[in-house]
Amino acid sequence: MEDLFETHDALAVAELIRSRKIGAREVLDASLEGLRTANGRLNAITDFYEGELLEKSVAAAGNGPFQGIPFVVKQLMADCAGTPTTVGSRFFANEPVALHDSAAVARMRRAGLVIVGRSNTSEFGLAPTTEPAFGGATANPWRADLSPGGSSGGSAAVVAARALPMAHATDGGGSIRIPASLCGLFGLKPSRGRISLAPIGETLAGAGAQLCVSISVRDSAALLDALAGGEAGDPYRAPDNEGSFLDATRRAPGPLRIAFLRKPVGWESMDPALVAAVERTAKRLEALGHHVEEAAPDYDPGATGAAFGTVMCANTFTNIQGRANGRVPGPDDLEPVTRLYAEQGGKVSAHDYIRAVQTFHRTGRQLGAFFGKFDILLSPTIARTSLPLGEVRMDDSLEKYEEGLAPMVPFTSVCNAAGVPAMSVPLEVTEDGLPIGMHFVARYGAEQVLLSLAAQLEQAHPWRHRRPHGAN
């Protein structure tokens, strides 16, 4: 049982449980023991379910494809009945417990997942690292002085350590894909409206999404099957596809038209190690029969980034006000950057906000035109090879914070603005053995194309054997 998730992904373990080759309780007990051990090193789990709460979670799990698989849910964008959702903030540490599951969490349970805890996140998910003042920093299993990325770093750390085969993650500007890249995992951000965010609103003007980080492509695909679909009245709903997302991983994608970037749009250059990684990946894709050429979408990254700032600040202010129920944050209740974002957000006019949303829509149309010519856009996931803890700070000036943020999101955030699906695939490594994620983007609604390509790459260039030293 100790190395179960080293040799089996979630679907494989669920099949062992279903066929009674191992017991669900045996898996649960061993997983909780491994999680607690890993958490002593990583500080990735904020809350473990125990006693009656754990037993209710066991009882609520259905007989779906992930029957009996332990799972953690990020402390952001998802409510779990019986526990508070702190959004990584001291100000909300004593929130009342949620009375009901979010729509996606209810679907997780029906799929058979046993929720055993909540994973760490940056405050309000604002940082591309996971170092909240409330709860403390999460370490990367690959090296303790490095960040696992953010804001889904808690989930990514426990999966990279093989304490779980997959874990819940959310993405408002790259927060699934950045940790997946830094932790050597697979991470797919679905299309806008693919998975309902009910009962909360549209989240960052439609930029927010959720799914998981995982050790296998097929686990992410099967979870997407389980979670996909809207709820009554949802503001967005992605188009239906023929067949399942899991089925897409079982068939070849066929020859694809793939464009690649040697640098972020609007940048002069990029780290030569990342350029070389893109070029190697391009050659691998050519060897698999795809047409590959250098090309970039035509959009204004400065305008898109400014629109993101407007939307993020306004949402931060509104979310704090809405959750506070009249309480006013004290001087130590919010991290300095969060407070600055909220203060700026309180000054955003209706005109400014509408213009920002219109910029998102314009960017979506510009990417839509690009994907009329190409099926896939390839780049690195982030514009650096690693992220030391303490380098992106929430306790300094807004200028310093944004300076640290810039190389983390130049490939990822445009996908959130446009609502298109994108994934980080752990195909490359640095000279000293750290993982490098390759970023693949497709047209709106084309998750099946991404998953089919990812499965092809996973088979041709396996990555699951690469794991941190000392991982469970």
In the set 152, 175, 379, 413, the catalytic residue is 175
Residue 175 annotated to the active site: yes
In the set 74, 181, 189, 386, the catalytic residue is 74
Closest CA to 260 of 243, 274, 244, 246: 274
Would you state the structure tokens that stand for residue 395, as one six-digit string?
């306790």
Backbone angles phi, psi at 379, to 5 degrees: -160, 175
165, amino acid identity: P
Residue 31 annotated to the active site: no
Closest CA to 25 of 47, 2, 58, 48: 58
User: What is the length of the chain?
Assistant: 472
Contact 412, 405 (CB under 8 A): no
186-189 β-sheet, strand order: 166-171, 209-214, 186-189, 422-429, 435-441, 376-380, 257-260, 291-294
Helix (H, G, I), strand (E, B) or coil at 427: strand
In the set 151, 379, 413, 452, the catalytic residue is 151
Q: Give the list of residues 6+ apart from residue 304 with CB closer than 8 angstroms, or none.
A: 359, 360, 363, 413, 414, 417
* Sign of the CA dihedral running 396, 399, 401, 403: negative
Residue 74 annotated to the active site: yes
Residue for token digits 């494989």? 12
Would you state the structure tokens that stand for residue 322, as one six-digit string?
């809405």
Would you state the structure tokens that stand for residue 351, as one six-digit string?
């005109």
Would you state the structure tokens that stand for residue 280, as one six-digit string?
């190697």
70-74 β-sheet, strand order: 45-48, 114-119, 70-74
Q: Is-cis flag, bond preceding 151, omega within 30?
A: yes
Enumerate the active-site residues. Answer: 74, 151, 175
